[in-house]
Amino acid sequence: MTRGGWLRDARRAMAKLPSLRMGRVPDAPALPVRDPWPGDPSRGVRLLRGELELGGGVRPLKPGDWADTSAPLPLRVAAHGFVWLRDLRALGTDAARLQARALLSKWIATSPEPLAYRPDVIGARIAAWLGHYDFFGASADDLFRQRMMARLLSDARRLAAAMPAEELDARALTALKGLIAAAVAMPEHAAFLTRALRFLPQEIGRQVLPDGCHAERSPAAHLAALQDLTEIRALLQAAQVQPPAALTASIERMAPALRVLRHGDGGLALFNGSKEEQASLIDLVLTQAGRSGRGPSSLLDGGFQRLQAGRSVLLVDCGEPPPAEIDRYAHAGTLSMELSVGRDRMIVNCGAFPAGSPEWHDATRATAAHSTLVIADVNSSELRERGLGRRPENVEVQRQEASGAHWLEASHDGWKKPFGAIHRRRLYLAESGEDVRGEDAIEAPTPQPFTLRFHLHPSVTASLQQDGEAVLLRLPSGGGWRLKADGARMALEESIYLGGPEPRRSEQVVLTGPMDGPQQVKWAITKVG
């Protein structure tokens, strides 16, 4: 065990000792802490029925269900993090208020599973309890408030002892946010704030890349991290504490970077474990961040390219996968692309189903779940339970623009070890935005079987033309597009879309290259009519 690990364990042990609890338990938060994000009233209704819904998954959430460990990990994390209080608040009824109190009271009286004491879960819980205190706690009886504040103080001491958080990804920011919220609400415990501010700058430096992209290379993780950072800044301002320079600078970089990762409908691109999210939430986060204007056309450190012309937006993952220990949600989707026209998504990746079974988790991370090329049904990165094994080590990209048109050439060596192969992808977007062309090629010592996939959004209607050489795509707005290809057999197959609130059936255009034929496919997506 390292010296740092030994000290952390010692601090945790001391934090559990009742005899070492210093200072009285406050009767209520000294300063109001407000959760700035909107809840979902429909989820609030489900909570009244005893159901917690997250990302298409559901687990029971009744006062007697806190010991249940059968649900998928993300649902258990969400349950013990109490972020769902915002959904009850959005419902706003007396029944919702009483349900919040009943669930919280039973949680305090129950011995939760060890997961409940993970630093990020404690941080989320502290911020949620304080952020919604005026909704469910301020009007409660004295005994409820005393028990809640006593548990909150105990959790804050445990969290302070666990710093720095062992998690190296965005979860560490959630832990720090909770500790800062506790310091603001209980200013007599100034050590909480001192400890949080000691580790905040180094955590920001580790997680926020120079171009503002989050180190996990996930639009969802990026959004969540920016939310946490803007909350931390607001908490410090409420306490009249000058925010660290690193905090202000990170928010100023991350807000424009978030704009790169949005489609025409305002939602997020589906890379590395992301869902669309509500455009209104993303707008609110950007408003809270305080950065206006358009984002850049690319994130060179994060590895994302945004090609925009006319009404079309083409987003491409041209980066190396995130490094070990922050790759828990990383997908094998190198060089995958998504295309939207106006508010209509056309070509997509399948998305993520974190609340699903392990089989679903693996399937959505596979290369075949992305709009890119697959060699011999082997993933471009090796999928492991807690991240990636073999992965692309060299991802190269070149971009040119002229007269409003865009050219992009990228390659990766994810299949170098199993096949000695390089995948090259060339993309072109015309000035009008109505002509997208591509070429996917394999460079390998021996020919390899390959498949090129274009997953379609569920709102797209697709029909294979009689000659089997093109697919006609009809968008919800009524626009018609044609996908043609040369060098592969074309088929229309079933797919699934997990980018929205719940799974939806969809289709995919599949191009299959012959084993003994040319190792390249040329294709085009053009507007018709």
pLDDT of residue 6: 44
* Spatial distance between the Cα atoms of 108 and 91, rounded to a whole number of angstroms: 23
The answer to whether position 219 is within a domain reads no
Whether 371 contacts 523, CB under 8 Å: no
**DSSP assignment string, 89-136:** HHH--HHHHHHHHHHHHHHHHS---GGGGSHHHHHHHHHHHHHTHHHH
Would you tell me how many other CB atoms lie within 10 Å of the CB of residue 250?
26
pLDDT of residue 112: 83
* Spatial distance between the Cα atoms of 186 and 24, rounded to a whole number of angstroms: 10
Reported as a single tens digit per residue, the pLDDT across 51-97 is: 999 887 888 998 777 877 888 889 999 999 999 999 999 999 999 99
pLDDT of residue 3: 46
Q: Which of 392, 379, 516, 385 is nearest to 453 (CA)?
A: 379
Q: Which of 130, 112, 214 is nearest to 172 (CA)?
A: 214
pLDDT of residue 5: 54
Whether 525 contacts 483, CB under 8 Å: yes
The answer to whether position 481 is within a domain reads yes
- Strand arrangement, sheet containing 395-402: 395-402, 405-412, 422-429, 435-443, 520-528, 480-486, 470-474, 461-464
Residue 429 sits in a domain of what CATH number? 2.70.98.70
Say what the pTM is. 0.94
The answer to whether position 138 is within a domain reads no
* Spatial distance between the Cα atoms of 218 and 214, rounded to a whole number of angstroms: 7
pLDDT of residue 22: 46
* Spatial distance between the Cα atoms of 432 and 341, rounded to a whole number of angstroms: 11
Buried b (16+ CB within 10 A) or exposed e, 167-178: bbbbbbbbbbbb
Q: Sort strands 450-456 and 344-348 into parallel, antiparallel or unpaired.
A: antiparallel
What residue numbers bound the domain in which 409 lies? 298-528
Reported as a single tens digit per residue, the pLDDT across 171-195 is: 999 999 999 999 999 999 999 999 9
The number of residues in the chain equals 529
Q: Which of 408, 444, 443 is nearest to 427 (CA)?
A: 408
Looking at the structure of the chain, the number of domains it has is: 1
* Spatial distance between the Cα atoms of 412 and 320, rounded to a whole number of angstroms: 8
Q: Which ranges in 139-278 belong to alpha helices (H)? A: 142-162, 171-185, 190-207, 219-238, 245-260
Q: Which residues contact 217 (CB under 8 A, 6 or more apart)?
A: 271, 272, 302, 303, 304, 317, 319, 321, 322, 330
* Spatial distance between the Cα atoms of 408 and 426, rounded to a whole number of angstroms: 6
* Token output for 301: 């450190």
* Spatial distance between the Cα atoms of 197 and 190, rounded to a whole number of angstroms: 11
pLDDT in tens, the chain (529 residues): 444 554 455 445 445 444 344 468 888 999 888 999 999 999 999 999 999 998 878 889 987 778 778 888 899 999 999 999 999 999 999 999 999 999 999 999 987 899 999 999 999 999 999 999 999 999 999 999 999 999 999 999 999 999 987 777 889 999 999 999 999 999 999 999 999 999 999 999 999 999 999 999 999 999 999 999 999 999 999 999 999 999 999 999 999 999 999 999 999 999 999 999 999 999 999 999 996 677 899 999 999 999 999 999 999 999 999 999 899 889 999 999 999 999 999 999 999 988 888 888 889 999 999 999 999 999 999 999 889 999 999 999 999 999 999 999 999 999 999 999 999 999 999 999 999 999 999 999 999 999 999 999 999 999 999 788 899 999 999 989 999 999 899 999 999 999 998 899 999 999 998 877 789 999 999 999 7
Q: Which residues contact 240 (CB under 8 A, 6 or more apart)?
A: none
The answer to whether position 125 is within a domain reads no
Whether 299 contacts 219, CB under 8 Å: no
The answer to whether position 460 is within a domain reads yes
Buried b (16+ CB within 10 A) or exposed e, 94-106: eebbebbbebbbe
CA 394 to chain centre: 24
Would you tell me how many other CB atoms lie within 10 Å of the CB of residue 398?
11
The answer to whether position 311 is within a domain reads yes
Query: Which amino acid, residue 502?
Result: E
Q: Sort strands 298-299 and 387-388 into parallel, antiparallel or unpaired.
A: unpaired
The answer to whether position 515 is within a domain reads yes
Query: Is the link from the previous residue into 112 a cis peptide, with omega within 30 of 0?
Result: no
pLDDT of residue 176: 97
The answer to whether position 459 is within a domain reads yes
* Spatial distance between the Cα atoms of 134 and 144, rounded to a whole number of angstroms: 13
* Token output for 125: 């819980």
* Spatial distance between the Cα atoms of 331 and 223, rounded to a whole number of angstroms: 18
